[in-house]
Amino acid sequence: MKEFAPPPPRADGRVNLVGLSRDDLEAEVARAGLERFRARQLWHWIYHRGATDFAVMSTLAKGVRETLANLYVIDRPTAVKDLKSEDGTRKWLARMPDGQEIETVHIPEEDRGTLCVSSQVGCTLTCRFCHTGTQRLVRNLDATEIVGQVMLARDHLDEWPAPPDGRMLSNIVMMGMGEPLFNYANVAKALKIVMDGEGIAISKRRITLSTSGVVPMMKQCGAELGVNLAVSLHAVNDELRDRIVPLNRKYPIKELMQACRDYPGLSNARRITFEYVMLKGVNDSLADARELVRLLRGVPAKINLIPFNYWPGAPFECSTDEQITKFADFVNNAGYASPVRTPRGRDILAACGQLKSESTKPTAQARIAALEAHKALQAEYAAQVAEKEAGLAATGTL
């Protein structure tokens, strides 16, 4: 895997103001020889009004606007593709100045509109069911590029300034490409800008960060940002999770669950969402459901069952509707809300786990190897399930 450095400065030497913290913006304003209060005016124009050109900033004198335009730009990534699903989901392929590309997805619902934001180009992790995990090129996005995705979406949704109620873009999930807690500093900087009440103003209650389980960063995330946490669990024993979410080898389930219990600000009103992708014959038995309920005991939790979204070459199939319903019923009866996530934007490869900006076809050899590995995994799993279910039946639990 090749790692890339963050993008180089612009050729014309001008600095992009998007993604600077308030302190950094004040420092830039001082560098330009302007009064400190100009930073606040700029903040309003950039993040409340969505200005991309200093010329429209009518509260600034002409000379000030010219000084700013000589030194700075207000840029977003370029939307090189704008795809619309038949269900209204929209996906933008966003190109950064160094040519790297990421995807950002908008999911409109009746009472809200959610933007699924990427934190990295590709992902250094290799969860077996995730398309992003097969992408070769990886680099962290900087705060400019993370905030830039929100601004790009607002541009396309024509929401500057956004109405306080009934916004098309009301919620954010850090569930796009990449592992946000492997790029925490940039994600934190970006989310603080997004949450700022004098700008984009999306509250922490409307932001959810999803992690595959980067245990050492979870506490800081909760304490510093206070956003909702989603944890990609997907398996209830280390043996399987080691294989399908390889980060588990570093931070096994027991440590992960302890970090969840320690997540700051948890209560019954503010629960952790456990994501669980439904993989046919791999993790979808009732014995798994039962173990899931046992694992979550004592953690304020919701369970989000995600039907597996297929992508070309994927080594899994989605569980049957019947099995998903059985699984969901079991978990519901145990007292956990466990909605099944309706896949959105599958026709434009915009659903969970389908994002991948670089189109490479798996070789025939890689496909065969993946299929063999999958078959072996399924056979082994079937044997384990039979054994567990026989045991449970004997004790009258199932």
Cβ proximity to ligand SAH: between 66 and 321 the closer is 321
Sequence-separated (6 or more) residues with CB below 8 Å from residue 364:
none
Query: Is 285 annotated as belonging to a binding site?
Result: no
Q: Who contacts 150 (Cβ-Cβ below 8 Å, separation ≥6)? A: 115, 117, 169, 172, 194, 200, 202
If the CB atoms of residues 25 and 277 are measured against ligand SAH, the closer one turns out to be 277
- Which of ligand SAH, ligand SF4, none has residue 305 at its interface (CB below 5 to 8 Å by kind)? none
Q: What is the DSSP letter of 267?
A: B
Shortest gap between Cβ of 230 and ligand SAH (angstroms)? 7
Sequence-ordered list of residues with C-beta below 8 angstroms from that of 263, at least 6 positions apart, any chain: 218, 219, 222, 229, 272
Q: Give the nearest distance from C-beta 380 to ligand SAH in angstroms.
A: 21
The percent of the chain in helix, strand and coil, each rounded to the nearest 5, is 40, 20, 40
Measured in whole angstroms, the distance separating CA 108 from the mean position of its chain's CA atoms is 16
318 labelled as ligand-binding? no
Listed in sequence order, the residues at least 6 apart from 112 whose beta carbon sits closer than 8 Å to its beta carbon are 170, 171, 206
Q: How far is the CB of 65 from ligand SF4 (least distance, A)?
A: 41
Taking the complex as a whole, the smallest distance from the CB of residue 191 to ligand SF4 amounts, in Å, to 18
- Is there a contact between 388 and 237 (Cβ–Cβ < 8 Å)? no
Q: Residue 212 CB, nearest distance to ligand SF4 (Å)?
A: 4
Give me the DSSP letters along 320-339.
PHHHHHHHHHHHHHTT---P
Nearest to 214 by CA among 265, 254, 251: 251
101 binds, among ligand SAH, ligand SF4, none (CB under 5 to 8 A by kind): none
Return residues touching ligand SAH (CB under 6 A): 127, 129-130, 175, 179, 210-212, 232, 275, 277, 306, 308-309, 352-353
Q: Are 172 and 194 in contact (CB under 8 A)?
A: yes
Rounded Cα gap, residues 38 and 41, in angstroms: 5
Residue 156 labeled ligand binder: no
Which partner in ligand SAH, ligand SF4, none is near 118 (CB below 5 to 8 A by kind)? none
Whether residue 232 is annotated as binding a ligand: the answer is yes
Question: From the centroid of its chain, how far is CA 325?
Answer: 26
Residue among 202 and 209 whose Cβ is closer to ligand SF4: 209
Which one of ligand SF4, ligand SAH, none interacts with residue 175, CB within 5 to 8 A by kind? ligand SAH
**Is position 210 annotated in a ligand binding site?**
yes
Tell me the one-letter amino acid at 64: V
Is 226 assigned a ligand-binding role in the annotation? Answer: no
Given the complex with ligand SAH, which of 120 and 144 has the nearer CB atom?
120
Q: Which residues bind ligand SF4 (CB under 6 A)?
A: 123, 125-127, 130, 132-133, 178-179, 212, 232
Nearer to ligand SF4, 20 or 350 (CB): 350
Q: Where in the sequence numbering do the catalytic residues fall?
A: 103, 352
List the binding residues for [4Fe-4S] cluster. 123, 127, 130
